[in-house]
Amino acid sequence: MVDLSSKTPAALLPTDILFQTPYWAQVKSRLGLRPRAFDIATGGPGGDVLVLLKTLGDKTVAIVPQGPEHAPDQEEYGTFIENFSLALARHLEPDVAFIRYDLPWASPFASELREGRRTAFPEARVREMRMNMGTQHWNIRKSFEDLTVASSLVVDIGKSENAILEGMKPKTRYNISLAQRKGVTVQVVGSEKLPEFYTLYCQTAQRNSFKQCNYEHFAALFQCLAASSGHSELVLLLARHGRDTLAGAIVGISGKAANFLYGASANTKRNLMAPSLMHWAAMRHARDRGCTGYEMGAVSPSVNPSHRLYGLYRFKTGFGGRIEYRCGSWDYPLNQDAYREFSNGESLHKSRYDA
């Protein structure tokens, strides 16, 4: 049984999950979403949760970004999500078509992936069968794609700088040293340098063919910092060589966790390895701020050259660390017809974009 009681997003408890903070609620509010917050009362994991309401046409989607934070036992994942969804639905307007969770919980397939008995997550049908075991309504659906990442590289930065460097692959250590020897420097800069970062970001999006966020999205990240409680922090770093800006990063900090949110690199002087030095500078800054983990984000689940994220796997695993295998995004439909229509449209949009 799950019971939810509404509260203001400003009253959300401190957490290492940036996406479950009052700061993130403010960012998303500025971007047009409607934040709601709830205390969770249950016989199992409790805490609180941030929910974001997003209007899509004549329907609304309730998004739970990397939450709920505290996971039940793995065999109770499905029943908890079902009970939580039914409790949340009682607090939502009737036009909410479905609830989308971006679950930060460990995947039931994590040990198989880590031990090499699997090279990828099972297909959605298999994951849905496992998630719905024990539920009453068999109504939990695997989302078409994950909101953030189901396999993410996390580097332990809660040790000495020498120990962090020793945990890296020799090639990565060499690239960091090379950038330093060639005169690349990295600075933490203020939000007035955001246009400089955004120029690089657009170059990166065009070069790597990914859909870019508009400038207003990045502006909101920094505009909301002044009104936040101080538990969250945003860091903008730029790597330069002479007058040229070669790389940039936006890193979010909440509690003891640092998240590499956005990166960018120039089309020129790529042989100077500026991104490697930039990440090392970001890790050192986060460590100085008391962080023990630096999350670099998406990688392929295993050594698979055919995977679209294998290039990121090769680069990021050079910094050492471990891959965290998470449940990813799941949907709980409240209006089956509206959900089916949305899912079909989402699939069609993704197909057109990939083409």
Residues 167 and 132 reside in one and the same domain: no
Residues 50 and 100 reside in one and the same domain: yes
In a domain, 320, yes or no: no
Residues 175 and 266 reside in one and the same domain: yes
Max distance between CA atoms of the chain, in angstroms, equals 63
The DSSP code for 107 is P
In a domain, 266, yes or no: yes
Residues 15 and 55 reside in one and the same domain: yes
Regions in the chain scoring below 50 on pLDDT: 352-355
- Show the domain range for 6: 2-150+325-354
Residues 177 and 141 reside in one and the same domain: no
* Spatial separation of the C-alpha atoms in residues 41 and 4, rounded to whole Å: 6
3-state secondary structure (DSSP) of residue 65: coil
Residues 70 and 95 reside in one and the same domain: yes
Q: What integer pLDDT is reported at residue 58 of this predicted model?
A: 85
Q: What integer pLDDT is reported at residue 294 of this predicted model?
A: 98
Q: What integer pLDDT is reported at residue 56 of this predicted model?
A: 87
* Spatial separation of the C-alpha atoms in residues 69 and 104, rounded to whole Å: 7
Phi, psi of 291 (to 5 degrees): -75, 150
Residues 86 and 173 reside in one and the same domain: no
In a domain, 319, yes or no: no
In a domain, 278, yes or no: yes
* Spatial separation of the C-alpha atoms in residues 282 and 179, rounded to whole Å: 15
In a domain, 127, yes or no: yes
For 295, residues 6+ apart whose C-beta sits below 8 A from its C-beta are 152, 153, 154, 155, 257, 258, 259, 260, 324
Q: What is the CATH number of the domain that holds 227?
A: 3.40.630.30
Helical axes 170-181 vs 274-288, angle rounded to 10°: 100
Residues 127 and 164 reside in one and the same domain: no
Answer positive or negative: Cα dihedral of 270, 276, 281, 282.
positive
Query: What's the token pair of residue 103?
Result: 């679950």
Domain ends where: 247, 265, 291?
Answer: 291
In a domain, 137, yes or no: yes
Answer positive or negative: Cα dihedral of 85, 86, 91, 95.
positive
Number of CB atoms found within 10 A of residue 176's CB:
22
Q: What are 185's strand-pairing partners?
A: 240
Residues 6 and 139 reside in one and the same domain: yes
Residues 176 and 90 reside in one and the same domain: no
Residues 100 and 21 reside in one and the same domain: yes
Q: What integer pLDDT is reported at residue 355 of this predicted model?
A: 44
* Spatial separation of the C-alpha atoms in residues 128 and 139, rounded to whole Å: 9
Q: What integer pLDDT is reported at residue 125 of this predicted model?
A: 95
Q: What is the DSSP string of 113-158?
A: HHTTS-SSPPPHHHHHHHHHTT-SS---EE-SS-SS-SEEEEEE-S
In a domain, 85, yes or no: yes
Residues 64 and 127 reside in one and the same domain: yes
Q: How many domains does the chain have?
A: 2
Phi, psi of 194 (to 5 degrees): -60, -40
Q: What integer pLDDT is reported at residue 229 of this predicted model?
A: 62
Q: Which ranges of the chain would DSSP assign to H, the alpha helix?
A: 22-30, 77-89, 110-114, 124-132, 161-166, 170-181, 194-208, 215-223, 274-288, 310-317, 336-354
Say if residue 94 is preceded by a cis peptide, omega within 30 of 0: no
| Cα dihedral 164→166→168→174 (10° resolution) | 120
In a domain, 345, yes or no: yes
Q: What integer pLDDT is reported at residue 44 of this predicted model?
A: 66
Q: Which of 22, 24, 3 is nearest to 88 (CA)?
A: 3
